[in-house]
Amino acid sequence: MSLAFTKMHACGNDFIVIDDRAGRFAGAETELARRLCRRRLAVGADGLLLLRASPAPDRFGMVFVNADGLLGEMCGNGARCLAAWLRRAGLAGADSRLETLAGAVPVRFDGAAITLELPPARLLRSDVAIPWQGRDWLFDEVDLGVPHVVSFVADRAALRQAPVIALGRHVRQHPQFAPRGCNVNFAALEGGRLHLRTYERGVEDETLGCGTGATAAVLAAQRRFGLPAKVEVVTCSGESVWIEHAPDAPPQLSGGAHFVADGRVAPDLLDGLEPAR
């Protein structure tokens, strides 16, 4: 069995992109992600993106699977990567739209930048106290179709010292956020910009960037600090994204996407995989 792939990243959040418009791997997405996303043992990535066909013109299905096989509702960095792949392939039109489990995501191309109109967001709760190692950490809960929580720290120095992995693992599975769990973000406001670190469910580790996490942090920061409608978010990779969110409007996420390599998967990585026929 031969399989072509493209390796991409946005803000250091890396993905394997596969053209599966024929539905060859329908029903086998979880196992495919687990095999291909393993670091050092396979291609390696934070997640797998499968392109699926849609009956409507300029509409494309996007299946996002985390490295551990968890089917994700949507991924902002991944959606920009898939949109860039579609543009390079000559498939993307001016009114392209990605159909995700979180809803439809319109795509706009602005030179090298790709802008996504994300599903409507809901600020669910503020200052949810999670005890950990002798102190309460406060989190704001935001639903973008993808579940997020955000904790604000004093400055970038505190952000560098934040226990993102240990505390993120604890909060991600906490009963307060059951049954879906959540992505766990830590943010610091400096000079009008937000700086962000994220522990991602499904990767079960800190990643270099998270697009929906950046969006969740901006929405929480707008309510908490009165930030303007458009905010720059600096990810752990050093690359920025821009979030625009006006009252009663869906949030918009803008940033780049980068090609790393095109290749073919070695057949033995697919041995025994049973895709739908």
Q: Which residues are catalytic?
A: 75, 210
Q: Is 57 exposed, middle or buried (0-12, 13-18, 19+ CB in 10 A)?
A: exposed
Distance, CA of 176 to CA of 179 (rounded, Å): 9
Q: Which tokens in the block code for residue 212? A: 């929906």
Q: Please list, in sequence order, all residues whose beta carbon lies within 8 angstroms of the beta carbon of residue 229, skipping any fewer than 6 positions away.
A: 244, 245, 246
Distance, CA of 249 to CA of 240 (rounded, Å): 22
- Nearest 5°: phi and psi at 240? -100, 155
Distance, CA of 201 to CA of 180 (rounded, Å): 10
Distance, CA of 165 to CA of 32 (rounded, Å): 26
Q: Please list, in sequence order, all residues whose beta carbon lies within 8 angstroms of the beta carbon of residue 172, skipping any fewer than 6 positions away.
A: 181, 182, 183, 184, 199, 201, 204
